[in-house]
């Protein structure tokens, strides 16, 4: 266990219930119960009190898995490559989990994509665990939810965790970039707009993979990418503040046939080795970025909860209303809300001392 031992979720309305359920579920999930694991991930996705209680137990046991982000434009073949990687990883007996971050529906939750159906080939293999996640609630939730999900899977003993992001938006790229190793997938002959998105994606890549290697132009695309990568400045990503000391390798795969997939797995392992221990500045920063995204999302949730407290809700709603009607500017409103939060905190017995 970690530095702290806080068995209950303080102040949570159903803290007691969550705690006993969390005890059972975390023990079961760490012991290999996949249903318990699935329930925990649902709690993480929905940010319930159970998620907090479970994370307080599981988080200190995590930190061993290799977390690999896989991103790229729609149509590059991410799901097919993920399926091929699963097959390759299973040949050597490693347990692998996939978190598919799916922005397809902000409302109804992630829909299963057609490609993902192929992964059901592994439905009977208990060392393969695949989960689609949709981030709900306010912006910033995506990084925090994904970080929590990987921590739960890590604690449950998965050695390799693939975080596949379907969207090409900023948040989705940040999620992938907060992995220990970030793979950016491309395909030959993509359109103009996709090319433009590519430039941004490349900045977060540790490895670049040209998929659909059997299509004409794959070699040429790989050469172009290598030229772009030499020309591009290797600065840290704004989202993750990672330095990129090395040019990323460019590999070619044909996920549909499996060509190049063993080489990709070997490259992932090399990157993992190169970034652990003393030389692991990049991976350390990625871990800090994941930690910060999670902690900050919780701070944010806590503050929002306080603004919805009976005593503050009316004043807070009035302030936001005034901004919506342009009677008050957002900076003055922010100062008002901060004042409300701090006054309210001062008026009640402190939770952290004692």
Q: Which of residues 108-167 bind a copy of itself (CB under 8 A)?
A: 108, 111, 113-115, 135-140, 142-143, 148, 166-167
By CB under 8 A, is residue 205 in contact with a copy of itself? no
Residue 235 touching a copy of itself (CB under 8 A): yes
- The whole-angstrom separation of Cα 302 and Cα 241 is 26
The β-bridge relationship of strands 128-133 and 160-165 is unpaired
What are the Cα distances from residue 139, in Å, to 42, 91, 149, 164, 341? 19, 39, 17, 19, 21
Q: Tell the smallest beta-carbon distance from residue 300 to a copy of itself (Å).
A: 7
| C-alpha of 189 from chain center | 29
- What does the block give as tokens for 274? 């190169």
Q: What is the CA radius of gyration of the chain?
A: 22
Q: Does 208 bind a copy of itself (CB under 8 A)?
A: no
The residue among 9 and 82 lying less far from a copy of itself, judged by its C-beta, is 9
Give the Cα separation of 59 and 298 in Å (integer).
Answer: 14
Q: According to the binding rule CB under 8 A, does residue 348 interact with a copy of itself?
A: no
Q: 182, 168, 155, 142: which is closest to 32 by C-alpha? A: 155
Binding mask 15-34 for a copy of itself (x = CB under 8 A): --------------------
Strand extents, DSSP E, the chain: 66-71, 96-101, 128-133, 160-165, 181-186, 207-210, 249-252
The one segment of 4-12, 88-96, 210-218, 260-268 that binds a copy of itself by CB under 8 A = 4-12
When binding is defined by CB under 8 A, the residue of 45, 127, 203, 206 that contacts a copy of itself is: 203
Site for a copy of itself in 49-78 (CB under 8 A): 52, 55-56, 59-63, 73-75
Q: Rank residues 168 and 253 by Cβ distance to a copy of itself and give the closer one.
A: 168
Nearer to a copy of itself, 170 or 219 (CB): 170
Within positions 259 to 318, which residues make up the interface with a copy of itself, using CB under 8 A? 284, 287-288, 290-296, 298-300, 302-304
Residue 221 CA from chain centroid, whole number:
28
Q: Report if residue 14 touches a copy of itself, rule: CB under 8 A.
A: no
Axis-axis angle for helices 310-324, 281-307 (nearest 10)? 100
Give how many residues touch a copy of itself by CB under 8 A: 105
Residues in 178-197 at the binding interface with a copy of itself, rule: CB under 8 A? 191-194, 196-197
């Amino acid at each position: 266990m970690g530095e702290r031992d806080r068995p209950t979720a303080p102040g949570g309305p159903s803290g007691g219930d969550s705690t006993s359920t969390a005890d059972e579920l975390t023990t079961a999930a760490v012991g290999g119960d996949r249903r318990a694991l699935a329930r925990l991930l649902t709690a993480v996705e929905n940010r319930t009190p159970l998620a907090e209680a479970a994370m307080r137990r599981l988080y200190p046991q995590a930190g061993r898995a290799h977390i690999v982000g896989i991103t790229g434009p729609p149509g590059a073949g991410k799901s097919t490559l993920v399926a091929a990687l699963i097959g390759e990883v299973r040949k050597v007996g490693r347990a692998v989990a996939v978190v598919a971050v799916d922005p397809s529906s902000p409302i109804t939750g992630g829909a299963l994509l057609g490609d993902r159906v192929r992964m059901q080939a592994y439905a009977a293999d208990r060392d393969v665990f695949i989960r689609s996640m949709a981030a709900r609630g306010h912006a910033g939730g995506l990084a925090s939810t994904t970080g929590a999900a990987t921590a739960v899977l890590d604690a449950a003993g998965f050695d390799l965790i693939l975080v596949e992001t379907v969207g090409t938006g900023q948040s989705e790229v940040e999620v992938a970039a907060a992995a220990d190793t970030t793979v950016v997938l491309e395909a030959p002959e993509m359109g103009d707009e996709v090319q433009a998105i590519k430039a941004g994606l490349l900045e977060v890549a540790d490895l670049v993979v040209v998929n659909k290697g059997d299509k004409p132009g794959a070699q040429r695309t790989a050469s172009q990418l290598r030229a772009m990568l030499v020309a591009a400045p290797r600065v840290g990503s704004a989202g993750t503040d990672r330095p990129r000391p090395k040019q990323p390798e460019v590999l070619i795969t044909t996920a549909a046939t499996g060509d190049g997939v063993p080489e990709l797995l070997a490259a992932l392992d090399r990157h993992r080795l190169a970034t652990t221990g003393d030389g692991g500045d990049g991976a350390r920063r990625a871990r800090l970025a994941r930690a910060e995204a999670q902690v900050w999302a919780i701070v944010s949730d806590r503050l929002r909860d306080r603004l919805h407290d009976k005593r503050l809700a009316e004043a807070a709603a009035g302030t936001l209303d005034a901004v919506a009607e342009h009677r008050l500017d957002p900076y003055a409103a922010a100062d008002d809300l901060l004042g409300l939060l701090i006054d309210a905190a001062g008026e009640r017995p402190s939770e952290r001392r004692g």
